[in-house]
Amino acid sequence: MDKLTILLPAIPLLSAVIISLFAGGQRRRVARISTGFSTLTLLVAIATLALYLRHPQPTQVWLGASWGSLYLDPLACIMALGVAGISLVVHAYSARYMAEESGYTRFYLLLDLMAASILLMVTAGDLVTLLVAWHLIGVLLYFMLGHDTRRATAQRYAFWTFFTYRLGDLPLILAAVLLYQAYGTSSLPLLFERIAAAPDPHTVFGLPLMTTVGLLIALAGFARSAQFPLHTWLPYTMEGPTPVSALMHAGIVNAGGFIINRFAPVFVHSGDALHVVFAVGLVTAILGSVLMLTQNDIKKALGYSTMGQMGFMFVECGVGAFSLAVYHLIAHGLFKGTLFLSAGGVIGDARKHDGVPHDEVYTFVVERRPVASRMPWVVAAIITVVVPVALLALSHWLVGGRFVQQQGAVILLFFGWVTGAQVLFATYRLRAESPWKTMALIILSLIVVVAGYTVIEHAFDLFLYPDRALSERIFVAASIPLATFEILVAILTVATVAGWLAAYYTNAKRGKGDGRPSALRLAFYSLISREFYIADIYAWLTQTVLGLSQRLNVWSRWV
C-alpha cells in the first residue's frame, strides 16, 4: 500500500522527465509515452482503492524528516481515482486536438506535471506538502491557459487567474501557520487528533481559533472554485485550449470542495464558517445559473455552468453534507469534462443547421409529423409540485428515516424539489407530439436520478466518514436555530411558488400580446448580459490603482 501511494504522484512526474529527456520532440512518441504513463496511473489508482476496500486502514508515508508525507484515506483514494480517470481522457483527446499547435511537447509536459501536482495535493499528509501542491497547481495552470503565446487575450486572462489563485493561497498559508503554532505539528492525522482532543482553548485576537481557521480555509476554497465575488477568472479561462478546460474539473476548479472535506475535523468546531460557506455558495449558484443563460459562446456558457455547480457544491458543504459534495465534485467533473471535449462537435453541428425555426405548418406538411400539443395546465402544475417532493422524500426515507430531523437534508430536499419542478415546468412549456409520453419519460428519468443520487450519496457517506459520530457532528455544526430555519424554508417556498406563477403569467401575457419584451425584461437582460457589472468594477478598480501608482511614482521621483 505504501508503494502504491508513492507511485500515484510519481508516475506522471516520471512521464514528464522521460518526455523532456528522451522523446526528442517527436509528437507521436510524446503522446504515446504520456498517455501510456497516464493509463498506468489510472491502474495504480484503481488498485489503491481496491486494496483500501479490502483493508480499510488509513496509512501515512513519510518521504522526509519533517515534511513530504503522503496520506491515504477514503477521500484520497476516491479523489485520486477521479483525477487519474479524467487525466487519461484528456491525454488521449489532446493527441489529435493539439496536433497542429506549437509547443506540443511542452503541452504534454505540463499535462503530466499538473496530474502529478493534483495527485500530490489529494494525497498530501502534512500541511507543507499540501501547500506546495496547492501552489504548484496555480502556477502550472497559468502556463497551460497561456499555452498559445501569440494570443494576447489568453495571456491576459491566464495572468488574471494566476493573480486570483495567489490571493487564495494567502488564507490557506495563514490557516496552516495558525494550526501549526497552536498544535505543534504539520502532520494532518496527528493534527486532527489534537484538534478533536482540545478544540477550544486557542484563540486569535480574541476570536476562536477553529472559526478563524475555518473562514480562512473557506476563503481559499472560494478563490480556487470561483465563488462570488472571486468568480470572474473562470468564464474567461475559456481562451485557453479545450483540453485544459476539461482538465480543470479534475481537482483544480473543484478543489474547494476537496479542501473543505480534508479539513472536516476543523469545520466540526466552526459552525459560523459553514454558514458563510452556505451563503456564498447559494449566491454563486444563482448567479452562475443565470449568467449561463445569456452566453452566446458555448465554452463560456459551460464556464458559468461550472460556476453555478461549484456554488451548489459549497451549499452542500454549508449544510453539512460533506460526502455529498465529494460525490457532486466527481460526478460534475466527469460530465462537464465530457461536455468541454464535445464542444467542438456541437459547434460543427450548429454550423450545418440553417437555424430557421420550423413552425407548425412546416412540421405537418413537409416533415409529415403531427402538430405538437400540451397537457392541461392544472394537471401539469400538480405533477410539477407533487412528483419531485414525493420522490425525494420517499428516497431519503428509505435510506435514513431520521432525515427530516437534519436541517441539511431538508435544505437539499428543497433544492432537489425546485430543480425537479423546474425540469417538469420546462417540459410543460415545450410542445410535443405526445405530451403524456414525454412527461412520463421525464418522471421516470427523475426517479432513476433521485434514487441513484440518494443511495450513492449514502454509500459515499459511509465510505468517506466511517466514524458516524464525526458525520453527525458536522450536521450539528451546520445547523441553525429551529425557528430561524423554519422561517427561511417558508420564505423560500413562497418565493419559489411565486416565481413559477410569475413565469406562467408572463408567458401567457406574451402569447396574447405583440411579442415585444417589456422594458423591465430588457433592463434585466442588459444587467445579466453585462454580468452584473462585476468585471467592469474590477476593471475600474485596476485602472484607479494604476493611476494612483503612476502619480505616486512621479511624485517620489520629483522628491
Contacts of 34-37 with CB under 8 Å at 24 or more apart are 34/91, 34/108, 34/111, 34/112, 35/88, 35/91, 35/92, 35/95, 37/11, 37/12, 37/112
C-beta atoms surrounding 498 within 10 Å: 10
Residue 86 CA, distance from chain mean position: 14
343, 305 contact by CB (below 8 A): no
Largest alpha-carbon pair distance within the chain?
84
Architecture in CATH of 1-125: Up-down Bundle (1.20)
Q: For residue 152, give the C-alpha cell.
A: 494576447
Q: At what angle do helices 152-183 and 188-197 cross, to 10 degrees?
A: 50
Distance CA 90, CA 106 (A): 15
Query: Which 3-state string (H, E, C) describes 304-343?
Result: HHHHHHHHHHHHHHHCCCHHHHHHHHHHHHHHHHHHHHCH
pLDDT in tens, the chain (559 residues): 678 888 899 999 999 998 888 776 687 888 888 899 999 999 999 999 999 888 888 888 888 777 888 999 999 999 999 999 999 999 898 888 887 778 888 888 999 999 999 999 999 989 999 999 999 998 999 888 888 777 777 788 888 888 888 888 899 999 999 999 888 888 999 999 888 888 776 777 778 888 899 999 999 999 998 888 888 888 877 777 888 888 888 778 888 889 999 998 999 988 889 989 988 988 888 888 788 877 777 777 788 888 888 888 898 888 888 888 888 888 888 878 887 787 666 666 666 665 555 555 445 444 445 445 555 655 666 666 666 666 656 655 555 545 444 555 566 656 665 665 555 555 555 555 566 666 666 666 666 666 666 666 677 778 888 887 887 888 788 777 767 766 776 776 676 667 666 666 666 665 555 556 667 777 777 777 777 778 778 788 888 888 888 888 888 775 5
**Cell 401575457 maps to which residue?**
509
Distance CA 265, CA 512 (A): 58
Q: How many CA atoms lie within 13 A of 180 on its CB side?
A: 14
